[in-house]
Homo-oligomer: A and B are copies of this chain.
Amino acid sequence: MKKNNVSPGDYVLLLGKGKTWLVRAMEGYDFHTHLGKVRFSDILGKPFGSPIYSEKGEKLFALRPTIEDFVMKCERQTQIVYPKDLGMISLEADIRSGSSVLEAGSGSGAMTTYLASLVAPKGHVYTYELREEFKRMAERNVMKAGLEGVVTFKLQDASKGFEEKNIDACVIDVGDPWVLVPQCWKALRPSGRFVGVTPTMNQAERLSEVLRASGFSRVKCIEIMLRNIEAREGKTRPSMMMVGHTAYLIFATKVLETSQSASSDLAEAGEDL
C-alpha cells in the first residue's frame, strides 16, 4: 500500500483557486504563490489531500501528484506529447507492467516518465537520445517521478541500431521516424508494436508508407481531439478555446514474412532478429 502522508522530500501538487504547482516538500522551507506564502512544515506528516492555509489565509490543497502531473509539469525545452495522446499510445502499443520498451528520442523525458510508470516495477524502458543536455534533462524528470530504476538512458544514435532485442514496443518521436523503421523491426519481438508521433501530415504519410513496405502490418494513423466541457448547473457548454492539434499517432505491428519453426525463431531471437 502506498503511504498516505507527506514525508520530507516528497513531491506535492499544491492546488489553489484552479492553479497548481508541483513542489518538493522540504523541512524548513517555504513556497511563494500569488495566494501567499505556504510553509512546508504545515504539510509534512499530513495526509495527501489535506488543506493548507497560506499566510494570507487562502486555502490550498496538498495533493499527491499523478504521473500526468509529473508529465505536464516536467522541465522541458521541446513540445511534449500530450496526455490525450499518451493514453492512446499505451493502449495501442499494449504497454503495461512488465513490458520492455524502446524510445527514441528521449527529448525532455516526459514520454519516458509515462512509459516508465506503465512498465514498472519489472519492465524496462531503454531510451536513446543524441543531445547530451536532453539526456540529462530526461534523467532529471524521470528521477523526479521516482522511476529511474526502470529506465536506461543512452546517449546514442538510434539510427545506428538498437542494442536491445525481443522488445515489446518501440515509441519513436523524432523528426524523421522512417529512418528508424528497419532498426525497430530488428529490435521488436514478432507481433511487437511500433508507435510513431509526428506533428505533420507529411511525416505521418511517409512513415505509414515506409512501415507498410518494411514488414509491418495493421498500420494505422489517428488523431485525438480533447474538448473540455464546463459542466455547471443550467449552463453546461464546451470551453471556448481548445487545443486543435498536437500530433498524429501512427501504429503498426511487426509480422513475419515466412513461417518459422519455434526453435529457429528462438535461435534468431538470440542472434540478429
Contact = CB atoms under 8 A, between A and B. Distances in A.
Given A1-B166, A84-B224, A241-B244, A191 B255 contact: no
B245 A238 contact: yes
A85 B252 CA distance: 20
B91 A48 contact: no
Nearest to A229: B221
Interface residues of A, number: 101
A106 interface: no
Given A15-B218, A205-B232, A229-B223, A190 B245 contact: no
Contacts of A94: 66-68
A131 to B, nearest CB: 22
Contacts of A46: 259-262, 265
A179 interface: no
Majority secondary structure, A binding face: mixed
A87 B261 CA distance: 36
A86 interface: yes
Interface stretch (A25-33, A136-144, A152-160, A196-204): A196-204
A193 interface: yes
A223 B237 CA distance: 11
Interface in A236-269: 236-246, 248, 250, 253-262, 265-266, 269
Given A48-B191, A229-B221, A118 B91 contact: no
Q: Which 7 A-B pairs have the closest CB atoms?
A: A87-B87, A49-B190, A242-B244, A49-B191, A97-B97, A66-B94, A238-B245
Interface of A: 1-2, 4-5, 15, 42, 45-52, 61, 63-64, 66-68, 83-84, 86-94, 96-98, 100, 114, 117-118, 120-121, 166, 168, 189-193, 199-202, 204-209, 217-218, 220-246, 248, 250, 253-262, 265-266, 269
15 contacts: A46-B262, A61-B253, A61-B255, A87-B88, A96-B118, A200-B237, A201-B231, A204-B236, A207-B231, A222-B226, A231-B250, A238-B245, A241-B242, A241-B244, A242-B245
Given A51-B258, A205-B231, 16 more contacts: A1-B100, A5-B262, A46-B261, A47-B191, A49-B254, A63-B253, A66-B92, A96-B117, A96-B118, A97-B121, A199-B237, A205-B232, A222-B229, A227-B244, A238-B245, A239-B244
